[in-house]
Chains A and B, each alone.
Chain A
Amino acid sequence: MMTILEVFYKDIPAIVFEPLAVLGWCGLVLALISFRKERSVLYLTVTFSLVFMILWRMVIQIISARYAQILIFPMTAAAAFFIFQLEHLRRIFPAVPEKYVKCLPVCILGILTVVCILKNLNYNTYTPVMDISRLVREDRVPGKAVIYTMDLDRLRQIEYYSGKEVHHLKPFPKNYDRVLTPALCRQIMAQAAENDAAETVYIFAVSAGKKAPIAAKEVGMSDAAWRLFAEKPFNRKGKRVFRVYKCSLKNPAVSQ
C-alpha cells in the first residue's frame, strides 16, 4: 500500500518538481471545484483521463519517476491555474488588501521561477567518470587493456567514454568500491591475467577521500607495475573520490 501511495506523493512530485507538484495538486482540486457545474464532454474527458493517468501508474507501481513525466503538462497547467486563482482570494479572505492580492500571482510565479532556476544551478555533477574514462582512453599501452569495476551503475558510461572492455565484478559485495582491499586487487589481477589475457588492468573505485590510496607494496608489486593512475573528487562535497589504479601485468611483481 505504501508503495502505491509513494507514486502519488514521491514519484510524481519528483519528476514534476516538488514545489510545482504541490501547486499542481492544489490547482487540480480547485479546477475540479471551479468547473464542477460545467460538466461538458471536455471536462469529463479531462477529469477522468487525469484520474486514469495517475491511477494506472499507482497500480502498476512505476519503477522510475520518469514514467510519470507526461504528467508534467497537466500539473504545470494546474499549477498556473492555481496561481492565477489566487487573484480571487478576497472572496474567502475579504480583509486582505486588494493591491496585495493583485500582485500575489506574479510574486508566486516569480518566486517559483527563481526556485526552479536555483535548483537547476545546484546540480550535483558526476563528471569525474567521463574525465577519468577519457584519460584511460588516451593512455596508450601495449597489448590488451581491460577495466574492472564493481559499479554496475557506471559501467556503461565507463565503457562508452574509455572505449575499452569493462568487466563487472559480480562475485564481490555491492559496496566493493568502499572496501577495495589489496587482497581484492590481487584477486582482480589474477582474474584479468587468466581470463582476459590482458597486459594492463585499470581498476575503477570510489573511495572515501580520507583513505590513502593502495600502494604498490600492499598488492605486492613494483612501483612501475602498480600506480594510482587518476584521482578526482566524486562530487562537489569531495567526501568521496573516484580513483583509478593502473596495473601492468607484464612487469614482474616484487617479492613480498
Chain B
Amino acid sequence: MDVVDKKTDTGMSNSAGMGKAVWAALAGILLLSCILILLQRTMEPQMGRDSCYYLVLVDLWHTGGFQSVVDFLGEFWFPPLHLFLLVLLARAGLSPESAALVIGMGCGMLMPLVSFAIARELFHDKRLALAAALLTAVNPSIIGMAVQAQRDVPYLFCAGWCIFLLIAAVRRRQWFWWCGAGGVFGVSMLIRYETAEFLPLLGIYLIAVLWKKQQKWYSVIRDLSLFAASALISMILLLWCSGTLDYMSRAYYRYFEGQTGALFRLYKKGERK
C-alpha cells in the first residue's frame, strides 16, 4: 500500500487513484494525438490501395445491400463489422470516405487511452502508463493507419481494450471483467479474425492457474465460460444487427464442415494405409 499525503499529492505518484495532474497529462496526450492525426490527413489525403477496395465495398453495400457485396466478391469471408459501421455512417449521410475517416481517426485519437490502461494495469505506475500513452500517441504506424479506410486501427482499438480487460480479469479475478473481455473480444473478432490469437492465450492462463494452484478449477471454468458466452452473445448480436447473421453462419458452417471433412478424409487415408 502506498501512503500518499493528500494535501501534497499532485496525482503523479504511483498511488492507485488518478490525480488531476494525470488527467491533465492524459488530456494533453490525447490532444497531441488529435493534432498529429489531423496533420497526417492534411499531408496524405489519398486513400491507399486496400482502403479504396474497402470503400468500393462500402458503396456497394450502401447502395445495393449486403447481397451485392457477396455478388461482387463471389464469396464473403471478411469479418463484416467494420464495413457495416461504415455503411451505418453512410446511411446517416456521410460519404464512405468520410465515414471511414470518422471511425479510423476517432479510434486512432483515443488509442493512447488503451495504452495507458494496459500499462497502468500491468505495472501500477502512472508515470509509466503516461509514457506508454505518449509513445502510442506519437507512434507513426498508428497515425499512418488512422487516416486510411482500413480495419487496422478499429481492430487495434478493440483488441487493445480486450487485452486490458483480460489483464484486469486475470489480476482481479472478478466475473464482470471476464464478461467485458468476452464482449470486446466478440467485437474485435468481427473486425479482424486475428483476434482469435487470444484464445490460445486463455489456454496459457488455464495452464498457469492449474500449475500455480492459486484458484479453484471450477472458478476458472466459470470465468472462461463467462468469457465465451459474452463473446458469442456479442458476435451473434452484432451479426444480427448487421443483417449478415444468416449468411455468415452458413459461411462459417461450410468452412468448419470443409475443415472437419478434410481431417476425416486424412484419417480415412491413414486407416487404409
Which A residues fall within an 8 A CB radius of B?
Answer: 14-17, 20, 39-42, 44-46, 48-49, 52-53, 56, 66-67, 69-70, 72-74, 76-77, 79-81, 83-84, 105, 109, 112-113, 116-117, 119-121, 123, 125-127, 129-130, 153-157, 159-161
Tell me the dominant secondary structure on chain B's binding face.
Answer: helix
B44 touches A127 (CB 8 A): yes
Q: Is B118 in the interface zone, CB < 8 Å from A? A: yes
A157 touches B52 (CB 8 A): yes
For residue A224, give the distance in angstroms from its CB to the closest CB of chain B. 32
B152 touches A69 (CB 8 A): yes
Which residues of the partner chain B approach A127 to less than 8 Å between Cβ atoms? Answer: 44-46
For residue A134, give the distance in angstroms from its CB to the closest CB of chain B. 10
Tell me which of B60-68, B137-145, B179-187 binds A: B137-145
A113 touches B208 (CB 8 A): no
Which residues of the partner chain B approach A105 to less than 8 Å between Cβ atoms? Answer: 131
A49 to B205, CA, bound (A): 9
Please list the 6 inter-chain residue pairs (A to B) with the smallest Cβ-Cβ separation, ordered nearest first: A116-B138, A160-B52, A80-B131, A130-B46, A44-B208, A80-B132
Tell me the dominant secondary structure on chain A's binding face.
Answer: helix
A84 touches B125 (CB 8 A): yes
A15 to B52, CA, bound (A): 21
B209 touches A41 (CB 8 A): yes
Which residues of the partner chain B approach A119 to less than 8 Å between Cβ atoms? Answer: 140
Closest to B96 in A: A160
Given contacts A16-B141, A41-B205, A67-B194, contact A77 B132 (CB under 8 A): yes
**Tally of B interface residues using CB under 8 Å:** 59
Which residues of the partner chain B approach A112 to less than 8 Å between Cβ atoms? Answer: 135, 138
For residue A175, give the distance in angstroms from its CB to the closest CB of chain B. 19
Q: Is B221 in the interface zone, CB < 8 Å from A? A: no
A156 touches B53 (CB 8 A): yes
A70 to B208, CA, bound (A): 23
A42 to B171, CA, bound (A): 6
Given contacts A41-B212, A160-B56, contact A76 B46 (CB under 8 A): no
Closest to A157 in B: B52
Chosen A-B contacts, 24 in total, with CB atoms closer than 8 Å, are A15-B141, A39-B212, A41-B205, A41-B212, A48-B204, A53-B201, A70-B159, A70-B160, A74-B118, A79-B135, A80-B129, A81-B119, A84-B131, A105-B131, A116-B135, A116-B140, A119-B140, A120-B138, A120-B143, A121-B39, A130-B46, A157-B49, A160-B56, A161-B46
A113 to B118, CA, bound (A): 20
Q: Is B239 in the interface zone, CB < 8 Å from A? A: no
Name B141's contact: one of A49, A72, A155, A157 (CB within 8 Å): A72
For residue A92, give the distance in angstroms from its CB to the closest CB of chain B. 20
Q: Is B170 in the interface zone, CB < 8 Å from A? A: yes
A120 to B39, CA, bound (A): 9
A16 to B142, CA, bound (A): 9
Given contacts A44-B212, A160-B47, contact A77 B123 (CB under 8 A): yes
Closest to A85 in B: B128
Closest to A129 in B: B46
A42 to B142, CA, bound (A): 27
Which residues of the partner chain B approach A73 to less than 8 Å between Cβ atoms? Answer: 114-115, 118, 136, 160, 163
Type the 1/0 row for B163-174, where 1 means its CB is closer than 8 Å to any CB of A.
100010011000
Q: Is B18 in the interface zone, CB < 8 Å from A? A: no
Which residues of the partner chain A approach B53 to less than 8 Å between Cβ atoms? Answer: 156
Which residues of the partner chain B approach A67 to less than 8 Å between Cβ atoms? Answer: 194
Q: Is B1 in the interface zone, CB < 8 Å from A? A: no
For residue B18, give the distance in angstroms from its CB to the closest CB of chain A. 17
Which residues of the partner chain B approach A130 to less than 8 Å between Cβ atoms? Answer: 45-47
Name A77's contact: one of B48, B52, B119 (CB within 8 Å): B119
B140 touches A17 (CB 8 A): yes
A162 to B127, CA, bound (A): 49
Which residues of the partner chain B approach A48 to less than 8 Å between Cβ atoms? Answer: 204, 208
Q: Is B267 in the interface zone, CB < 8 Å from A? A: no
For residue B29, give the distance in angstroms from its CB to the closest CB of chain A. 10
Which residues of the partner chain A approach B194 to less than 8 Å between Cβ atoms? Answer: 67, 70
For residue A44, give the distance in angstroms from its CB to the closest CB of chain B. 4
Given contacts A17-B139, A112-B135, A116-B139, contact A46 B47 (CB under 8 A): no
